[in-house]
Structure 1
Amino acid sequence: MIGTALDLVVVALLVAAALAAVGARGLFAGVVFFVGYGVFVAIAWLRLDAIDVALAEAAIGAGLTGVLLLGAVGHLTRAGAGAPPRRPAIPLALACAGISVMLGWAVLSLPDAPGLQAPVAAALPGSGSTNPVTSVLLNFRAFDTLLESIVLLAVLVGVWALAPDAAWGGRPGLVQRVRPDGVLAGFGRLLPPLGLLVGVYLVWAGTKQPGGAFQGGTVLAAVWLLASMAGVARAPRVTSLILRAALVAGPVLFLAVGMAGALGGSFLGLRPDWAAALVLTIEVGLTLSIASALALLVLGPPERPA
């Protein structure tokens, strides 16, 4: 009874946050409600025992996406952009309700199917990971995971392409000026070591329990951003070879493993006797690329000359 009541409360908060985000009068208020919506979605996934998805939603769906949207609002405000035009509320609400009804009907009309739980469980011993989510990401849908890492890198290249010619090769983001004895500077020195441990643990534990490259990489990106905001660490130049090596580490290692598997007859296939080591190697490479790309996406294009 208590669990059902909690689920109903979460559903009510989800609907309320979604309506508030869509119907907010200002951009800032809409982003705040969107972040709250992401938090409630993470709680909903947690109630469904999908801990990996809940971690990803809280870190990326609510955290990183919210920061990017807040940055966009800040840029629009500095650029003097006016308020967005008022949208027709009733037609928009009817359209959203219609789409929701169609999606619900489509889900309820799906035929009963055994699902993939049994095949995944049968293949788990030779997949190199006892975490079913990691096994699916790096074995059953490895090609999709590889493309996701490449797309993230392509998005960063697109952001960098917005840099003015005079600033190319320089450092991304604005210069952060904080008080040496202020709260932000204190957090910038205190929290990064703890965040580094959490991020590394999530990557290491991801092969056996909830966690993985996307969750750990997001935590490490947050550590980098906090240190940058606090003035503890400077953003590197976009032409830095070390930075570019970190950005391509994940896709390159993934492709190398895939080509090695192709020589054995299966592209992106993992040999059972090497699977555990290969999975951890791919996860570490993906973590470096994801952490670097996400942090640089938030910092934005180069704004300071080299």
Structure 2
Amino acid sequence: MILLSFFDIGLVVLILGIGAATIAVREAFAAAIAFVVYGLLMAIAWVRLAAVDVALTEAAIGGGMTGLLMLGAAARQRFSKGNGIPTSLPTRLAAGVLCALIAAGLATAILLPPEVTPTLAPTVMENLAQTGLGNPVAGVLFVYRALDTLLEKVVLLLALLGVWSLAPDSVWGGIPGLRVYAQRNTTLTFLAQLLPPVGIVVAIYMCWVGANEPGGAFQGGTVLAAMWLLVMIAGLESVPSISQPWLRLLLVVGPVIFLAIGLAGLVWANAFLAYPSGYAKPMIVAVEAALTLSIGVALGLLAAGPPERARHQ
């Protein structure tokens, strides 16, 4: 217990230190790297708080994919002409005040909690057996808040369309360059040959086990995206053009199947996104499998960025 206490204290100090460094550092690329480290430390903190689902999401999305997007943005800023328009002092002050207000609100919520913490956890656990699921997080996401989960996947597609819209009209439907990540060497090639088979198995496992244990579509999809990006960055496979029919099919297959099962609930269970008795778990697993593919492709294309060259080139 004493060692764990020292570990927790050291972890908190590291998180605060890396968080302060992320804010204080002046170079965007260094700040992005510090952000990735911060996300990984937060994942360890969530594990220590026994929130493994949150830890997996933080490591995959917060520190992993979001960090990769920030590194790509910082690299693109380096490649762009000039240093851009400097941020004005009023804008920086406004951002600082807003961050301080958010921090104060979070501190108030943590340090001054209500006497009786409102929670629906007992209700979820009482009714979880009816779904056939063993993971209460999956039960909440796909049963009690299924509409929110569906809309989150649609928002991911809208974000990708927003990235694609940054491309000039002349290269619309073309091929993302991934040039900001182009650091090819023998070590990268070796990793791109070694890791993907293992990563694909891990992604499938995380998707499959998500019904009963920590894991799920987002975590599995993020691992798939990372393996796909690794292969493309190493140059083992070319980046596909965004106009490829198979690519767009994979992007929408998850939300479409989710929506189709939701509409079928109107006939089978008299409610949208409701599941017939005894069939909830297989339907949810089918949705998660389809969403894993869609999320993996969407995150990979988000990291790749907008098209930079025409399809015929």
TM-score, scaled to structure 2: 0.90
Question: What's the CA shift for 1:244?
Answer: 0.8
SS in 1 for 2:308: strand
Q: Percent identity?
A: 45
Corresponding residue number in structure 2 for 1:75: 76
1:292 to 1:4, Cα distance in 2 relative to 1, 3 A = same
- 2:279 corresponds in structure 1 to 274
Q: Is the 8 A contact 1:128 1:272 kept in 2?
A: no
Tell whether the 8 Å contact from 1:202 to 1:212 is kept in structure 2 after alignment.
Answer: yes
Match of 1:231 among 231, 235, 239: 235
Q: Does 1:297 align with 2:298?
A: no
In the TM superposition, residue 253 of structure 1 has moved relative to its aligned partner by 0.8
Please name the residue that 1:149 is paired with: 153
What TM-score results when the alignment is normalised by the length of structure 1?
0.92
Residues in 2 aligned to 1:92 and 1:271: alpha-carbon distance in whole angstroms: 49
Q: Please, which moves more after superposition, 214-223 or 23-32?
A: 23-32
Name the structure 1 match of 2:20.
Answer: 19
Distance 1:184 1:42, change over 3 A: same
Contact 1:18 1:37 in 2 (8 A): yes
Aligned to 1:51: 52
**Could you report, residue by residue, the CA deviation over 1:63-104 in whole angstroms, capped at 9, with x for unpaired residues?**
111111111111111113428558699997777555434322
The residue number in structure 1 matching 2:10 is 9
> How much has 1:265 moved relative to structure 2?
1.5
Give structure 1 stretches of 5+ with no counterpart.
none
Q: What is the aligned partner in structure 1 of residue 201 from structure 2?
A: 197
Deviates more, 1:92-101 or 1:203-212: 92-101
Q: For residue 114 of structure 2, what is the aligned residue in structure 1?
A: 110
Contact 1:188 1:230 in 2 (8 A): yes
1:85-130 Cα offsets, whole Å, 9 max, x none, are 5869999777755543432223424241362221111111122321
Instruction: Give 1:77-226 correspondences, 5 Å limit.
Output: 77-82=78-83, 84-85=86-87, 96=99, 99-107=102-110, 108-113=112-117, 115-174=119-178, 178=184, 182-226=186-230
| Structure 2: tracts of 5 or more residues without a match | none
Q: Distance in 2 between matches of 1:90 and 1:142?
A: 39
CA contact (8 A) 1:138 1:145 kept: yes
| Cα contact 2:131–2:278 (8 A) shared by 1 | no
- Secondary structure in 2 matching 1:303: strand
For residue 291 of structure 2, what is the amino acid of its counterpart? L
CA contact (8 A) 1:128 1:279 kept: no
Name the Cα RMSD after superposition.
2.2
